[in-house]
Amino acid sequence: MTSDPKDRAGAVLTIDLDAIAANWRLIQARLAPGGGAVAVVKADGYGLGAVPVAQRLKEAGCRRFMVATIDEGLALRSRMPEQPIMILSGPFPGTGEDFLRFGLIPVLNGPEQADIWAALARRHERPLPSVLHVDTGMSRLGFSADEARRLAGDKDMTAALAPLMVMSHLATADQPDHPMNAAQRDAFWTVKALFPGVEGSLAASSGIFLGQEFHSDWVRPGAALYGVQPLPGPVNPMAQVVRLQGRIIQVRDVDDGMCVGYGATHRVTGRRRLATVGAGYADGLFRSLSNRGHAILGDVPVPLVGRVSMDLAIFDVTDAPAGLARAGNFIDLIGPGHSLDDLAREAGTIGYEVLTALGRRYHRLYLGTAP
């Protein structure tokens, strides 16, 4: 018998599924009557486990899911036989039958993908449901405005593609004052009108908080469900979903002038107490946190000193309550007092990247309904 996995992991990641459900309800409350939400659970549920996350969202009332790839769709499908699952990257040549076999719905990102889907519909002699993605200014994926107009004029084609939604995606929704928001909103409503009777979808997490004129029929929240703050400001309305606790492997007292970590990039002044913690860049604790990050020990912010190494990071815990700076105790890398977004800011990135980089070596605990 080996030891309890929790006792041997360098860090413990706790995922609060009930907080995800609370965030789902908070988003529902912002929608107009009749409005719905498609939960985006791509990238393994933003690193938190697509299956447990989707199951909890389903219990909370979610009826449609979106992922990026066919394989992500299959991972969900085996556990959720009924729910519509939409695939953002759409069909590639040769993959059409996969969608049909597993009941996946493609997002069609342009004429080439529409052709693949229409050919399949002809072969099966029936309309095949899809989502039409129109680019309204992001220049990433989607039909151009001209291409959308041409498609709308081709009644046989649109009948074959049986669009469930016309969707677009906002480039600057996390900057409420950016003029592109209104421009994309207006372009979206114009293109949506080309497809009478087809429902619309524009807003992801940030766009939901820009107001109902950005919502149309279906919003597509991802990050906000997982606790990322949707708009800048003093208060994050979303409940925190993740807590990441690093285990203190060793505590050492070092003398004035000693160097810390690879490259000797930090030199202590005065006698300091250091705690070496069992998480590093291989666990998604970005190297850019070197000499910039913080953690919390007993309500006290403690700075990350020296470079983050592969499996370890070192914190100066001199100012933390002495009784807590002990080998075996845990330090909050993400938790109350140091949010996901705080850590992201210190690393020079966004909460999305922190979540999707969360390591595979953490011991994972789910709170709320068991997965």
Ligand X SMILES: *Cc1c(COP(=O)(O)O)cnc(C)c1O
CB of 136 to ligand X, least distance (A): 12
Question: Which is closer to ligand X, CB of 331 or CB of 354?
Answer: 354
Task: Answer yes or no: are the C-beta atoms of 362 and 11 closer than 8 Å.
Answer: yes
**Strand, coil or helix: 30:** helix
Select from 350, 256, 345, 241 the least CA-distant residue to 22.
Answer: 241
Give CA–CA dist 142/136, Å, rounded: 8
Measure the CA–CA gap between 108 and 88, rounded to whole angstroms. Answer: 8
CB of 15 to ligand X, least distance (A): 17
Q: What DSSP assignment string belongs to 248-288? A: EEEEEEE-TT-EETGGG-EE--SSEEEEEES--GGGT--GG
Separation of alpha carbons 182 and 70, rounded Å? 33
* Shortest separation between residue 61's beta carbon and ligand X, angstroms: 18
Shortest approach of ligand X to residue 117 CB, angstroms? 18
Q: Which is nearer to ligand X, 158 or 205 (CB)?
A: 205
Specify the residue, 135 or 311, whose C-beta has the smaller distance to ligand X: 135
Cα 126 to its chain centre, rounded Å, is: 35
Query: CB-side exposure of 16: number of CA atoms within 13 Å?
Result: 19
Positions touching ligand X (CB under 6 A) are 40, 42, 88, 169, 204-205, 220-224
Contact (Cβ atoms closer than 8 angstroms) between residue 181 and residue 144 = no
Chain residue at closest Cβ approach to ligand X: 222
CB of 226 to ligand X, least distance (A): 8
CB-wise, 45 or 246, nearer to ligand X?
45
CB of 43 to ligand X, least distance (A): 8
CB-CB contact of 31 with 37 (8 Å): yes
Rounded-to-integer distance, Cα 130 and Cα 201, Å: 13
Residues 292 and 369: beta-carbon distance below 8 Å: no
Active site residues: 42, 262
Instruction: Determine how many CB atoms are found less than 10 A away from the CB of residue 278.
Output: 22
Q: Which is nearer to ligand X, 204 or 317 (CB)?
A: 204
Closest distance to ligand X from the beta carbon of 6 (Å): 30
Measured CA to CA, the distance from residue 4 to residue 63 in angstroms comes to 37
Instruction: State which residue, 12 or 104, has the beta carbon closest to ligand X.
Output: 104
**Residue carrying the six token digits 């690093």:** 246
Output 90 or 221, the one with its CB closest to ligand X. Answer: 221
